[in-house]
Amino acid sequence: MSTQALIAIGVFLISYAFIVTEKIHRTIIAMTGGIMMVLLGIVGQEKALHHIDFNTLGLLTGMMIIVAITTETGLFKYIAILAAKKVKGDPLKILLALGTITALGSAFLDNVTTVLLMVPVTFSITRQLRVNPIPFLITEIIASNVGGTSTLIGDPPNIMLGSAVKELTFMAFINNLTAISFFVLFVNIGILAFIYRKQLRTSDDLKANLMDLDEKEEITDKRLLIKSLVSLSLTILGFFFHQLLHIESATVALAGAFLLLLLTGEKYLDKAFLKVEWTTIFFFIGLFVLVSGLIETGVISLIADYSVHLTGGNVTSTSLLILWVSAIASAFIDNIPFVATMIPMIKDMGELGINNLEPLWWSLSLGACLGGNGTLIGASANVIVAGLAAKEGYPITFGKFLLIAFPLMILSIIICTVYIYLRYLI
Amino acid sequence: MRVSYTFDEQLLSLQETANEEDFEFSLTLVAKDGRSKMEKIREHFDANNILTDIHFYIHPNNRFQIIVRKDFYNEFIIELFRQQLIQEIKWI
């Protein structure tokens, strides 16, 4: 192994260690690591820029702009209250409904954004019914990660996969992951409803009070709502047909975002750009450059070579190894750097003789996305909800979450193992 | 310290009940311009990034149910006063 490869591994591992410990913001670490790769001559600036996946960045930015403006309309509160009324104010059914809405939201929006929209309305509904909000919040965490697994745009690992592999189109994700994700979702929220059933009781008076709410009053700006819905619908339609139209998913998302800004006018421009999570965007940039150091020095090829040697190049054992390792790793560390490292490795495995990479890609997606449910630090949405809940006087401790979520995550991965095996490996 | 307040019954009706952790207000507006005042109160509490300070529920016929956490009681009453929905506040 060359000196440059050893330096690249050193920079990568130190950066990774800092990201895991969360002592310093992950964006600062990823960018510093990326810059070190360039300063130390591991990759040139031009090569580093070449490794940055602008499709991932464009897709994230476009969706963040659309969500920032749509949130202003009160749409999400309207949907939540309507759902609560449809199930007649029954807390158990509301738990199932809010879990399903969170999953659907996360399938098309960023998971963190979805839970940020759902948590306030959850506190509001549970307060009115005078039930404990924690079962609802835990259900929403799990639903957001499972829902995010179901589409190309639902979770950053999927966005990265869809961007890195031409064959993994929006429709490919729908055909391969949506049904299994929703099966996993209903198993998970069914078990959660059973576990929490005794806490989910309220009086008929409180139910009647909820039924009397006027959800239409939650819509704050009808004109803006129409514009947002038109742009959002066209964007989602664009995702369905992006391969047919020969355009990348980032182009679809950015077209949707700027169509909405064109319709709403300048007054939303600054507000929308302020809501774009630039720290996330720069985290990705740093990571792409960090991983490029490992690619350019041949480290990724070496690990891929070793992995293929370990599994004997057998697709079944390689797929299942990726599924389980991704799930366990993602339960404890950020799944974005993990997936950023795994993508070039799986590509190299293809060059080393594994002909059918499809099960490997789906294993990586299912493992990395669902693994995030294993612990309270497994995914950004988990950390955000736990932080908000603690601030409001409803702490979700690491242990309490682990006790419920880790077995559910293991069950989800067992279901996925059966799915991957039956669908792709026999 | 608690406060007492008075309001114009021509403008609104207001009932308050105390629970263990919070106070619950049922407010029905009679005056037409009260709606925007209620929106301003809601915006005031939305702006502070605390999700459980007050919960605001809109019912038909200009009725509002507001659940106010105990530590935000005075602030809520002051906001009602600021929007001229109540006329007088006194420390008791």
Contact of A80 with A98, CB cutoff 8 Å: yes
Query: How far does the CA of residue A102 sit from the closest CA of chain B (Å)?
Result: 18
* H or E segment and range at residue B5: strand B3-6
User: CA angle A349-A178-A181, nearest 5°?
Assistant: 85
d(CA A5, CA A23): 27
Nearest to A105 by CA among A89, A96, A122, A117: A117
Is B59 within 8 Å of A120 when comparing Cβ atoms? no
Sheet holding B63-69, edge to edge: B12-18, B22-29, B63-69, B54-59
Best of A212, A218, A219 to disrupt the B interface by mutation (most B CBs within 10 Å)?
A212
Place of tokens 């993990």: A338
Nearest residue to A318 (alpha-carbon basis) of A267, A270, A363, A266: A363
CB-based contact B59 A123, cutoff 8 Å = no
Helix (H) or strand (E) holding B88: strand B88-91
Which positions of chain A have pLDDT values less than 50?
Answer: none
User: How many Cβ atoms sit within 10 Å of the Cβ of residue A279?
Assistant: 13
Amino acid found at B25: F
Please tell me which residue of chain B has the smallest CA distance to A208: B59
State the residue for tokens 């506040």: B89
| Nearest beta carbon to residue B58 from set A120, A213, A392 | A213
A312 close to B (CB below 8 A): no
- Please name the residue of chain B whose CA is at the shortest distance from the CA of residue A81: B57
d(CA B8, CA A41): 76
* B22 backbone dihedrals φ, ψ, rounded to 5°: -155, 175
Contact yes or no for A214 and B55 at CB 8 A = no
Triad A300, A343, A236: Cα angle to 5°: 165
What is the nearest CA distance from B6 to chain A, expressed in angstroms? 26
Question: What are the chain A neighbours of B55 within 8 Å (beta carbons)?
Answer: 123-124, 127-128
Distance CA(A316)–CA(A295), nearest Å, equals 25
- How many other C-beta atoms can be found within 10 angstroms of the C-beta atom of residue A395? 11
Side chain identity at A48, as an amino acid letter? A
Chain A residues within 8 A of B65 when measuring between CB atoms: 128, 209
Q: How many CA atoms lie within 13 A of B78 on its CB side?
A: 9
**Confidence band for B1, pLDDT divided at 50, 70 and 90:** low
CB-nearest partner of A214 from B50, B51, B60: B60
Q: What's the distance, CA A33 to chain centroid?
A: 23
CA dist A170 and A241 (Å) reads 8
Amino acid at A396: I
User: Min CA distance, A5 vs chain B (Å)?
Assistant: 47
* First CA to last CA distance, chain A: 38
Q: What ipTM was predicted for this assembly? A: 0.91
Residues of B in contact with A391 (CB under 8 A): 50-51
Q: CB B55 to CB A123 under 8 A?
A: yes
Please give the torsion angle defined by the CA atoms of residues A268, A158, A419 and A361, in that order, rounded to the nearest 10 degrees: 160
HEC-encoded secondary structure of B8-68: CCCCEEEEEEECCCEEEEEEEECCCCHHHHHHHHHHHHHCCCCCCCEEEEEECCCEEEEEE
Which residues in chain B touch residue A393, judged by CB atoms under 8 angstroms apart? 52
Interface list for B 15-74 with A (CB within 8 A): 50-52, 55-60, 65, 67
Q: Compute the C-alpha angle A370/A125/A114, nearest 5°.
A: 35
Task: Encode pLDDT of B17-76 as tens digits.
Answer: 998 889 999 999 987 778 889 989 998 998 887 889 999 999 998 999 999 999 999 999
Q: Which residue has the tokens 């406060």?
A: B3
Question: CA of A96, closest CA in chain B: separation in Å?
Answer: 22
Residue A208 touches partner B, C-beta closer than 8 Å: no
Give the closest of A123, A213, A392 to B57, CB-based: A213
Q: According to the model, what pLDDT value does residue B48 have?
A: 81
DSSP-derived secondary structure letter, B70: G
